[in-house]
Amino acid sequence: MDDIKLLPSAMTPLATEEGALRRIGPYLPVLDACRLCPARCCRLTVRCSVADVVRFCHVLQLPWQAGFRIIPGDSPESIPVTTGEGTTNVDFALRQKSNGDCANLVEHAGYWRCGSYAARPSPCRLYPVSYDAPTRAGGTPYVQCPVPWPITPSAELRLKEDIQMSIDGWALHQSLRQAWIDAGGGDQAAMVQFILTRARDALSLDAPDLLAQGSPDARLFAAMKDARVIRR
């Protein structure tokens, strides 16, 4: 991870563990800044790799549709699928409510928190930091944090681990995207099954409900029937 370079800015300054600036900057860092923020980044569209999708489903033991949706894509990492009108490119993205809030965002007496923190995908883990690496660069062009988010030595170590995981995840995403194209492609449903099952196997993660269909109530009802708890 020595070849991963963090790119600090005025709003993401290098700081000591005590919160003092390690370089001259215009603003003073605020330790644990996320605890005060009204979750501004949780209103953004978050496009994710297939590795992020599978890890989310593994941690929370949920079907992929519980956390993600398919949206139009226009990047080299977008996946081609066939429709009745030809071929279009799509991405996996975190589900959002009608008002734009992330579907995982919850409020506690005026404070906003991620309801799926342990399962959050790499774009969430890395925001608002930018970085550069030999095979990939990442970050946000505009930091929405209301106060400076400090990069402390311990945060730097964690961020580099998360960046490496993100790089590896996108590399897997790209290889499976190419495998899908080489196999001839297909519609969205076929793509989801093809790519997500292979991502799950490549990551060796247990995600038994990954491709489960139906609403939570319908799935519970079916399980109760199978268990003979109800008989109709």
Residue 142 pLDDT grade (very low, low, confident, very high; cuts 50, 70, 90): confident
pLDDT tens across 162-176, in order? 999 999 999 999 999
Measured distance CA(27)–CA(66) in Å, rounded: 39
What are phi and psi for residue 192, nearest 5 degrees? -60, -45
* pTM for the whole structure: 0.93
Whether residue 24 is predicted with pLDDT greater than 90 in this model: the reply is yes
Instruction: Give the domain ranges of the chain.
Output: 5-226
Q: How far is CA 140 from the centre of its chain?
A: 14
Residue range 196-219, pLDDT digits in tens? 999 999 999 999 999 999 988 998
Angle at 163 between CA 162 and CA 165, to 5 degrees: 65
DSSP 51: H
Assess contact for 133 and 167: CB atoms under 8 A.
Answer: yes
Which sign, positive or negative, has the C-alpha torsion 71, 112, 52, 148?
positive
Mean pLDDT of the chain: 95
Structure tokens at 91: 């991405």
Cα–Cα distance measured from residue 69 to residue 88, given in angstroms and rounded to the nearest whole number: 15
Q: Which residues contact 30 (CB under 8 A, 6 or more apart)?
A: 19, 36, 147, 148, 149, 150
Both tokens of 176, joined, read 């499976």
| pLDDT score for 56 | 98
Give the residue from 106, 162, 110 showing the smallest Cα distance to 138. 162
Task: Calculate the alpha carbon distances from 150 to 4, 28, 126, 224 in Å.
Answer: 18, 9, 13, 50
